[in-house]
Amino acid sequence: MEALQIIGGNRLAGSVRVTGAKNSVLKLMAAALLAPGRTTLTEVPGILDVEIMGELLRRLGCAVELDLGHGRVSIDVPESLEHRADYDLVRRMRASITVLGPLLARCGVVDVALPGGDNIGSRGLDMHVSGLQRMGAEVTIEHGYLIASAPEGLHGASVWLDFPSVGATETILMAAVTAAGRTVIDNAAREPEIVDICQMLIDMGAHIDGAGTSTLEVEGVPSLRPVQHATVPDRIVTGTWAVAAAITGGDITIENARPEHLQIALDKLSTAGADVTEIDDGLHVRMDRRPAAVDIVTLPYPGFPTDLQPQFIALNAVAQGTALVTENLFEARFRFVHELVRLGADVQTEGHHALVRGRDQLSGAPVEATDIRAGAGLVLAGLVAEGVTSVHEVHHIDRGYAGFVDDLVRLGAQISRVPIPG
C-alpha cells in the first residue's frame, strides 16, 4: 500500500506530453473484438485500466501483448471467442461493460457481470439494454449477470437515447456496425472519444455517418478487418495539467494536446486569469496571479466535462471569490469534497450544487482519493497546500494517469510515493 506524499508550495514549470485517452483506448480494445486477426493500438497510456482490459480480452480468448513502455497494445482476436465477462474484472473496472456490444455482435450471446454502483454514482445500463432490445436482442438479468442473446443476429433499428450517454452510444454503435441493415442513434454522445471509436470502426470497414454529431447513422456490413490505430490524446489529462499550471502560478507547455477538445474548460481557465495559448501540437498555460473564482456547470460534450469538475473545485478552493459548481452527470461526484475540506477548503454542497468560497491558503493533511478525478483534484490541492499532504488510495489515480508522479517531479513538484506503515 502506498500514498502520494506532497510538500506544497512549488510552482510547476516545463513541458509535459499527453498520451492517448483512457476513455477511448478501453473502447478501442473492445472494438478490436469485432474483427478476427491482429489489431494494434498506439498512443496507449500506461495505466492500470489498460492492463485490466488486456486481462479481460485474454479471458475471452485473445492473445494480448501490452508494450506500455512504447504505448502499444496488440490484440490477436480468434475466430471463436468466449462470451463471458466475470465479476472479478468488471467490479475492478466498470468499462468492462464495453465488451457487451462487440461480443453480442460476434457470438450472438454475451454474459457480462453487472458492475453495480461505484464511488461516483449508480450508473445505470437501461439505455444500453433498450437499444440492444430494439435491435432484436433478448436481455435478462440472472445471478448478477446481464445476459443478452440474438441467435438470429442483430438487425438495424432507430434508437433514441433519453440522454447522450457515452457508454450506451458505444454499446449500440459496436452492436450496429455488423447488424443487418441501418441503425440510427439519435441524441448520441458527441465526445471526441466517440469520434475516435467511429474513426477506428470506419477504418475497419464499418459504414458510419455523423461521428461527432447527435445523430449516428450506421449501415451494417457483414464483417470487419483488423487495423492499426492511434488513440486520441487524453483531453482530461490535458485539462488536469492546465489546472496544475493555473493553481500553482506555473507555466506548463502541454504537448500532444488537442485544445479544440476542451474549449469550455480552457475558456474557464482564461476567465480565472490564466494565459492560455494554442501552439503547434498542444497548448501553453501560464498563470502569474491568484486565480479568480469561476462557476462551472458539467454537461455532456461539448459542455464542461464532469471529469474535470474536481480539479476545478480544487482551483476554486484557493481562488479569489466564490464559485458555484453544478454537477449534472454523476450524483455522487461531490463525495471527495469532504476530503478537500480536510485541507481547509470552504465548500458547501447541496444536491448537485457546490458553493466554493476561495481561501487564501490550504493546509496539508492526509486525505483519501475516492475516484480517479477526485484523486487528481486532491493532488492539485496538495500542490498548493502549506505543509505535507498525503493522498491515500493511490490505485484510483493509477487507473487514469500514466507516469503522473514522474511528470509532476519533472515539472518541479515535491511529490513521491511512500509506503504506508502497517
Give residues in contact with ligand EPU (CB under 6 A): 22-23, 26, 95, 120-128, 163, 165-168, 306-307, 329-330, 372-373, 400
For 403, the 3-state DSSP assignment is coil
Other CB atoms within 10 Å distance of the CB of residue 366:
15
Check 76, 86, 118, 346 and give the catalytic one: 118
Of the candidates 305, 309, 277, 312, the one whose C-alpha atom is nearest the C-alpha of residue 291 is 312
* Residue 118 is a catalytic residue: yes
Decide: residue 248, CB within 10 A, 0-12 exposed, 13-18 middle, 19+ buried.
buried
Of the candidates 141, 73, 151, the one whose C-alpha atom is nearest the C-alpha of residue 113 is 141
Sequence letter at residue 313: I
Report the alpha-carbon distance of residue 271 to residue 269 in Å, rounded: 5
* DSSP track, 256-323: S--GGG-HHHHHHHHHTT-EEEEETTEEEEE--SPPBP--EEB-STTSB-GGGHHHHHHHHHTSBSEE
Residue placing its CB nearer to ligand EPU in the complex, 200 or 372: 372
For 349, the 3-state DSSP assignment is strand
* In the complex, minimum distance from the CB of residue 150 to ligand EPU, in angstroms, rounded to a whole number: 18
| 178's grid cell | 455488423
Tell me the residue length of the chain: 422
Residue placing its CB nearer to ligand EPU in the complex, 111 or 307: 307
* In the complex, minimum distance from the CB of residue 126 to ligand EPU, in angstroms, rounded to a whole number: 5
Residue placing its CB nearer to ligand EPU in the complex, 125 or 262: 125
* In the complex, minimum distance from the CB of residue 343 to ligand EPU, in angstroms, rounded to a whole number: 21
* In the complex, minimum distance from the CB of residue 422 to ligand EPU, in angstroms, rounded to a whole number: 29
Report the alpha-carbon distance of residue 306 to residue 141 in Å, rounded: 30
CB 330 within 8 A of CB 121: yes
**CA distances (Å), origin 326, targets 109, 163, 189, 330, 352:** 40, 18, 20, 11, 6
Residue placing its CB nearer to ligand EPU in the complex, 186 or 219: 186
CB 307 within 8 A of CB 332: no
Report the alpha-carbon distance of residue 47 to residue 38 in Å, rounded: 22
Residue 206 CB partners (closer than 8 Å, separation 6+): 177, 178, 198, 218, 221, 224
Residue placing its CB nearer to ligand EPU in the complex, 146 or 347: 146
The greatest distance separating any two alpha carbons of the chain, rounded to the nearest whole angstrom, comes to 65
Residue placing its CB nearer to ligand EPU in the complex, 117 or 144: 117
* In the complex, minimum distance from the CB of residue 52 to ligand EPU, in angstroms, rounded to a whole number: 11
Q: Are strands 109-113 and 138-142 parallel, antiparallel or unpaired?
A: unpaired
* In the complex, minimum distance from the CB of residue 170 to ligand EPU, in angstroms, rounded to a whole number: 7
Residue placing its CB nearer to ligand EPU in the complex, 292 or 332: 332
* In the complex, minimum distance from the CB of residue 140 to ligand EPU, in angstroms, rounded to a whole number: 16
**CA distances (Å), origin 6, targets 247, 309, 340, 349, 382:** 15, 21, 14, 26, 6
Report the alpha-carbon distance of residue 345 to residue 337 in Å, rounded: 9
Residue placing its CB nearer to ligand EPU in the complex, 282 or 305: 305
* In the complex, minimum distance from the CB of residue 90 to ligand EPU, in angstroms, rounded to a whole number: 12
The residues that are catalytic are 118
